[in-house]
Amino acid sequence: MSEAIVSVRNLRTSFFTKAGEVRAVNDVSFDINKGETLGIVGESGCGKSVTSYSIMRLLDPPGKTVGGQAFVDGVDVLALEEDAMQDVRGNKMGMIFQEPMTALNPVFTIGYQLDEQIMKHLKLSKAASRERAIEMLHLVGIPSPDQRYENYPHQLSGGMRQRAMIAMALSCNPDFLIADEPTTALDVTIQGQILELIQSLQARLNMTVQFITHDLGVISEIADNVMVMYAGRTVEVASAERIFGNPSHPYTHALLDSIPRIGRRMERLPTIDGVVPSPLNLPKGCSFQNRCPFATEQCRQERPPLDTIDPGHNVACFHPL
């Protein structure tokens, strides 16, 4: 796509364990246009975070990206040497991690950690870097930023740590921001503030965002397009309006049905029967076959391709709803 700033093609990432190869991400492809947000949703273990860590080249052994391409501004970041990737990471690409208390270094101040990145990528002096860091802390809504600059991570609340992580991710004006469940550990009030902050900064800086969550309510608020993942694979991709208004994959449909709604009275919410298959032993055909009420013999024998059923709407299912 001509407008796409991010294009991922046939990404495959595995973890090589004593028990065998765990295919965490299996042939995933997507595009994100400039200034838009792609929401990646799915239950725990479906490959959402591993997809992002693969693109950022932050996987540790035994994890390894074994195939595919990831273009950011036309450059395949998976093919770069590590030195070149370090220049891209934090500069053209930023990431907000799921748990800031583990992502931030506890033995260095917030200011030191901001300065380290700013001086490396923007080549600023110590004084100019401090000014930039305090400006970023102010931008993300941290009160008394000059004082917080001197604080250690444990001296900040959970919401303030997450804001500091956002400041760090945006400090070098990245074109592409990955937000990996940035509101999971926060209460609902702070969660709303963080989502509003990310959206306002995105509009102000014209950033492209990849937002990962298992919360469909969050996705409905922030995403332009949505990619639904299951067992390491993409099962449906469409605009947020289409996903929430007319989902086509049985898994997407089941996820939406399980959300409580105001005005809908029932004794028990619908659930998805069965369990996700082990990535060590994925079934021959569709990974969702053992939980799908519409599964046929074809589903058990063949893997459904991700086909276009309408312009901008792709579904991996032989029997789309």
Residue 27 CA to residue 123 CA, distance in Å, equals 38
Contact between residue 290 and residue 217 where contact means Cβ atoms under 8 Å apart: no
pLDDT for the residue 186: 73
State the average pLDDT over residues 25-36.
94
Residue matched to tokens 């074994």: 66
Q: What percent of the chain has pLDDT over 70?
A: 99
Locate 282 and state its tokens.
């994925």
pLDDT for the residue numbered 185: 67
Query: What pLDDT sits at residue 293?
Result: 92
What is this structure's pTM? 0.91
**What pLDDT sits at residue 227?**
97
Q: Which amino acid is residue 276, in one-letter code?
A: V
Round the CA-based radius of gyration of the chain to a whole number and report it. Answer: 20
Residue reference for tokens 């479906």? 46
Residue keyed to tokens 């079934």: 283
- The alpha carbon of residue 88 and the mean position of all alpha carbons in its chain are separated, in whole angstroms, by 18
Specify the pLDDT at position 250.
Answer: 96
Poorest-pLDDT segment among 102-111, 126-135, 269-278 = 269-278
Cα-based torsion angle of the residue sequence 13, 17, 22, 23 in order, rounded to the nearest 10 degrees: 20
pLDDT score of 314: 96
- 164-217 residue pLDDT tens: 998 998 888 888 999 998 877 677 888 888 888 889 889 888 899 999 998 888
Mean pLDDT of the chain: 91
